[in-house]
């Protein structure tokens, strides 16, 4: 399935500079920290999230809140005065086509954050509460430290091309591992290996040698996307157990194999 992605216009409101500074008993500053959910209750009962998803909240140093719940990402300015989160009027969101439950979960977290939840920070633990919902979160550095680029087996989740994001059958068979100056992996049809160089925030792939198994249909399409994406100099970013590789034309997203 191909899902389109785009972004809207974001105009930051003036209240964005009081992140983590207001409200008695709130327990410290949220600025520059990212939190991942550990539990959610709704009407005093556990609210299960979509499998393999978490609520992620990132409080930036320039007064914005960025969030996602496993599919689209959104951001806006935020105020934390008087012990409440108050979102700005202009919100920018990606528009990746999410299926059923994921789309509903996106709407749900947006509703919770728009309801001006109270917040309380106790060390690495953050709790957001509305009249009906409580979300407990843990600082990402404690909950999920960034994995190393080298030595981790990365499995493909998404191919980004321009403003489109592709989530396609067969991606789960694609993987790669970097070890020093070598990269090995699979396109889902053929195995590959090659030379790679990486520095802070950048990785450069040399020509990849592949086995010669004939690929057809979706497998051939996926292989073409992967080999095209793993070419030349790319920027990379690791967030917990996810890896993003990007070029001017698009990129590939991976998650650590479990």
Predicted structure pTM score: 0.61
Please report, rounded to a whole number, the percentage of residues in the chain having pLDDT higher than 70. Answer: 89
- Quick one: 226 exposed, middle or buried, by C-beta within 10 A (0-12, 13-18, 19+)? buried
Interval 173-213: pLDDT, tens: 999 999 999 999 999 999 999 999 988 899 999 999 999 99
Q: Say which DSSP state 104 is in.
A: H
* Residue 142 burial (CB count, 10 A): 12
Q: Which residue shows structure tokens 């396609």?
A: 168
Interval 129-181: pLDDT, tens: 999 999 999 998 888 788 999 999 999 999 988 767 777 888 999 999 999 99
Interval 30-66: pLDDT, tens: 999 999 999 999 999 999 998 878 999 999 999 999 9
Q: Using alpha carbons, list the distances in angstroms from residue 35 to 82, 142, 182.
A: 20, 9, 34
CATH of domain 153-256: 2.40.128.270
Q: Which residues of 29-55 are buried (b: 16+ CB within 10 A; e: fewer)?
A: ebbebbbbbeebeeeeeeeebbeeebb
Using alpha carbons only, what angle is made at residue 6 by residues 144 and 48, rounded to the nearest 5 degrees?
Answer: 40
Which two structure tokens, joined as six digits, stand for 187? 């396109």
> What is the C-alpha to C-alpha distance for residues 31 and 119, in angstroms, rounded to an integer?
13
41 membership: H or E segment, kind and range: strand 33-42
Please state which of the four CATH numbers 2.40.128.270, 2.40.70.10, 1.10.10.10, 2.60.320.10 is assigned to the domain occupying 9-143.
2.40.128.270
Is residue 104 within 8 Å of residue 29, measured between CB atoms?
no
> What is the C-alpha to C-alpha distance for residues 258 and 252, in angstroms, rounded to an integer?
19
Domain residue ranges of the chain, discontinuous segments joined by +: 9-143, 153-256
């Amino acid at each position: 399935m191909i899902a389109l992605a785009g972004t809207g216009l974001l105009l930051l409101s003036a209240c964005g500079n009081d992140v983590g500074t207001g409200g008695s008993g709130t327990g410290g500053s949220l600025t520059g920290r990212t939190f991942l959910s550990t539990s959610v209750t709704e009407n005093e009962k556990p609210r299960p999230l979509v499998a393999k998803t978490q609520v992620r909240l990132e409080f930036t140093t320039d007064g914005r809140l960025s969030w996602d719940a496993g599919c689209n990402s959104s951001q806006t300015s935020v105020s934390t005065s008087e012990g409440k989160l108050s979102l700005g009027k202009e919100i920018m969101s990606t528009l990746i086509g999410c299926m059923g439950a994921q789309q509903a979960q996106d709407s749900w977290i947006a509703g919770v954050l728009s309801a001006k939840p109270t917040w309380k920070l106790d060390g690495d633990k953050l709790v957001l509460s509305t009249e009906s919902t409580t979300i407990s979160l843990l600082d990402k550095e404690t909950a999920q430290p960034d994995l190393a680029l080298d030595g981790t087996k990365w499995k493909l989740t998404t191919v980004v091309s321009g403003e489109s994001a592709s989530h396609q059958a067969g991606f789960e068979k694609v993987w790669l591992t970097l070890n020093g100056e070598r990269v090995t992996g699979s396109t889902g049809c053929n195995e590959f290996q090659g030379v790679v160089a990486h520095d802070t925030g950048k990785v450069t792939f040399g020509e990849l040698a592949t086995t010669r198994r004939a690929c057809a249909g979706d497998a051939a399409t996926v292989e073409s996307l992967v080999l095209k994406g793993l070419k030349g100099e790319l920027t990379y970013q690791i967030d917990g157990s996810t890896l993003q590789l990007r070029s001017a034309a698009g990129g590939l997203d991976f998650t650590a194999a479990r």
